[in-house]
Structure formats: structure tokens, C-alpha cells
Homo-oligomer: A and B are copies of this chain.
């Protein structure tokens, strides 16, 4: 995998780049729609392309559980299986083991847990997690890490972060496929010295990219913004930086400003299914009775199929009636909004225009962090 920085914003750490993967080039900063179980909810690959998605994220934990990485490998790999010929990044499952699985137990060797689907027992190691992702045939794999709960004691954070670094080294040693890039994950809770130490030790290892993990799990927006920016600033300049799992529009803008290149979040797709849509003037809840007779599209300036053909009144009707088409049109719209936001962010970096004015300046950004 090759990463080329094409522009730097003089007013912030933001940059644009080209991430050259085994399945094509990604212009960064980029947002990855989430296809947890091998499908972005309600969208087909052609829909994803239509709204300018370049790369998607899938979940190792879910695909390992069902249908299993061997089945996917035997059917030609995840790209062929799900019909997406662009780049795929998989997370490592560390976060899902924490949030979904039962009876979780972490040892130096790995993590044992019970499946959220059928209660079956599993044991994942850093080596096995790399092996699963390489069996899936993805373009970017993530190392197994522990997503540290918040709050946690300094002792816990230190011991966990040290183990995450040891696991990162083992993951690198287990990596067999040069077409599958491997990213390290910086942990360290909300303790700056531990974050800095973790970033430095991972930077000494030959990862293809670096991610910030363990953020957005209860520390609050101010600390999140601060720790996100602090972590990005301690990652190598010449590698892609990935802010994991965070994706309010303001998180994306602040993340780009802080020097991140990749983002993923379930927010646009999940909100769509709940009827919350992103527009030029902010969020809108389509189920609201105020839209019952509203002939306007969800967002006048949006080029998505839904905004070109349907009124808010129709989308409200579909949502209230529980029509599947509501999930489709809403999801397509929100992913379109997110990809347009990313396009605008890349343009702002290239044109040296202010990132604060992106998306009409409607999203409340945290204070920039030095």
C-alpha cells in the first residue's frame, strides 16, 4: 500500500492524499460507510458507488461469527462475496468483543469470549485476527487491541496499552500477505503520556498506517476532541491516520483539521433508519408532522436519487407507514451527505480555504487544539 500526501493545509494539520490499495486508489480524507456483516445496511454496492463512496469498512468479529472467514475465502474473498470491488478495511473485532460478546476474558495470549449469536466459546489471538482478515482478503487489516473502558485506573490503562503494543508486534509478525496493509492502533485512554508513549512505540514498528482507538466511549466531546487531536499529532506524518468509529459531521471536520485521513461511523446509516437526515441546515427528523405536506426535497442542493425525485411529504409517508423504501432512500441520502462533506473537506484543503466554513459552517466545532 502506498500513501502520497498531495496537499497540506497551512492553517491546520489537515492534508489530502492518495491511498493506493490492492483494490484501487482512495482520495483522502475519506469516510468509510460501515458494512458490519458484509453489507452496508439497505445499500447495494452500486448505491455506494453512486454516492461517491471509495472504501468501506466491515467487521471482522461479525463476519468471523457468521458466515465465517473460511466460507468467504472459499467463495473468492470478501470483495467477490459482497460484490464490492473497491478497497475494504476491516476492524479487528477488539471493540465488538468488548461491546457485544459475553464472558469476555483477556490474557496475554488473547481474548476468550462467548458469541452474542449462539453462546459458543471463542478464543481470538492477535495472530488469529490477522489471519481472519487476510482470509477475507481485505485491503487494510487492523491489529487486535483492547478498547479500554472509560473511566479506568491509570494502572489498568497502562497495563492494557502495554499489552496492545505487544499484540501489535505479534500482529505484524503474523502478517503474511503484502497486499493486505496492516494498521496499528494507538490506545492509552485519556492519559496523554500513555497515548504519547503508545504512539511512539507503534511508530517504531513498520505499520502501513495508524489509528486512534478507544475514543468516543464516554469521555465527553471536549476531552474527545483534545485526545483525538493529541493522538494524531503523535502519529507518523507519512502514513495514513484513521480515527476509528467517530463520525458526527463535526467529528469529521475536526478530525480532518487534526490530521486524520480515514473515518468510519454507523451514524449516517443508523440515523437514516431512525428517520434522522442530514441537510444544509442541520439535522431533520423526517417523521415530524411538519413535513406531512412539505413538497420540498429533504435537501435542495443534494444530488442523491431521493432528493431528485421525492418530497419530504413522501419520505415522511414511507417512514410512518414502515416501508422498506424509507430505509433505502434515507440511507442513500445520509451517505451522500457524508461523502459530499468529505469532498468539500478535500477541496478546502486543496484550495486553502477555511475548514470551519465547510458544510456552510453549520456544525459546532470544538476549539482547535494546538
Listed in ascending order, the chain A residues whose CB lies under 8 Å from chain B are 37-46, 66-67, 71, 74-76, 81-83, 292-293, 295, 305, 309-311, 313-314, 317-318, 320-321, 323-325, 327-329
Contact = CB atoms under 8 A, between A and B. Distances in A.
B41 A81 contact: no
Contacts of A40: 325
25 contacts: A37-B321, A38-B314, A38-B317, A38-B318, A39-B325, A41-B323, A42-B324, A42-B325, A44-B305, A46-B305, A66-B317, A66-B321, A67-B317, A74-B293, A75-B293, A75-B295, A75-B311, A75-B313, A76-B295, A81-B311, A83-B309, A83-B310, A324-B324, A324-B328, A328-B328
A285 to B, nearest CB: 17
| Number of this chain's copies in the complex | 2
A309 B37 contact: no
B325 A43 contact: yes
A66 B321 CA distance: 8
A120 to B, nearest CB: 16
Q: Which 4 A-B pairs have the closest CB atoms?
A: A83-B309, A42-B324, A39-B325, A37-B321
A149 to B, nearest CB: 28
Given A38-B314, A323-B37, A323-B39, A329 B67 contact: no
Contacts of A314: 38, 75, 81-83
Nearest to A80: B311
A40 B324 CA distance: 9
A314 B66 CA distance: 11
Given A46-B305, A81-B317, 6 more contacts: A37-B321, A39-B321, A40-B325, A44-B328, A44-B329, A83-B314
Residue among A76, A295, A313, A317 with max Cβ neighbours from chain B (10 Å): A317
A56 to B, nearest CB: 13
Contact of A44 (B41, B295, B325): B325
Contacts of A45: 309
A251 to B, nearest CB: 25
A39 B318 contact: yes
Contacts of A37: 317, 321, 323
Contacts of A76: 295
A106 B172 CA distance: 76
Nearest to A317: B67
Contact of A66 (B38, B81, B320): B320
A39 to B, nearest CB: 5
A189 B39 CA distance: 48
A308 to B, nearest CB: 9
